[in-house]
Structure 1
Amino acid sequence: MGCTATGGGAGGGRAESSCVRLVEYESRTYADVANTPITAGERLGSVTFTPCDDMGGRSGGRVEPPIKAMAYRVEGLDVDVAIAVGDDADDAELFAVKSGSGPNSGSGLPPEVEKFIDAS
């Protein structure tokens, strides 16, 4: 899991870290796309969650080991742009390759994934 910092609030408090869930599959990195209904299809194989250092290097040298999960094909999307990840197909969640070329490129999602989300 990769990390991003979130704001410190109106009172100027300290910033908090939150992990963006990232997985590696066939030399591509996919990021979690929250709250998108999918139908997971064919089992593709194992993926590895990238460990998160949400302590900003203050973990005393302790590093989380990579976590394994299963990847599945997402019905309606090519594996080059998105996969489903979970312990089994019924609980799998959408993960997509980040890109900057779509009409809503601020989302960082490939255009095919944006269309898929809009249609769901």
Structure 2
Amino acid sequence: MLAFLALAAGCSDADSADAQGTCMGMIKFAGRTYMGTYKDLPLKTGDRLGSTRPEPCNDTGSSRPVSKEPTLKVYRVIGIDAKLAVGVGDTVQDVRLYAVRDGKKVPRDVEVFIEHARRTKDG
């Protein structure tokens, strides 16, 4: 449940890649918006699905433009439908879980996946 709460809270927890704002960990891919950047969640990746870039955000007070070029690779995560969550990173070794949201909640299947991955990691 703790992992679910951390993911549901957005990108402001200590596990986040950039805890600078609520949408710093937002990407759009395949017509869906994904959030969350958990670097310590053990993930098994499948095929590379494509590329994306971080979405621009106005909640940090920065007016720095975001590059239009794809900068992050998107991978299928084994054990979860890519319509619900994907792995995002520069390489398969540094992928982080990004999940779709329904408001502030992640789908139940994502919550179950996160809990299982955490239990696997903790032994």
Deviation string for 1:61-98 (max 9, x for gaps)? x5333462110000100010000000111111000000
Residue 19 of structure 1: CA displacement? 4.0
Q: CA RMSD in A?
A: 2.3
TM-score (normalizing by structure 1): 0.69
| Structure 1 residues 1-32: Cα deviation after superposition (integer angstroms, max 9, x where no partner) | xxx8x8xxxxxxxxxx6243111111100001
Relative contact order, higher structure (CA 8 A, sep 6+): 2
Alignment of 1:30 with 2:40, yes or no, is no
Aligned residues: 96
Distance 1:110 1:71 in 2: 20
Q: Show the counterpart of 2:112.
A: 115
Structure 2, unmatched stretches of 5+, are: 1-9, 13-19, 118-123
TM-score, length of structure 2 as denominator length: 0.67
Letter in 1 for 2:34: Y
Q: 1:38, 1:26 → 2: CA distance?
A: 21
Any runs of at least 4 consecutive aligned residues in structure 1 with deviations exceeding 6 A, and if so which?
none
The residue aligned with 2:44 is: 39
- 1:51 maps to 56
Give the superposition deviation at 1:117: 1.0
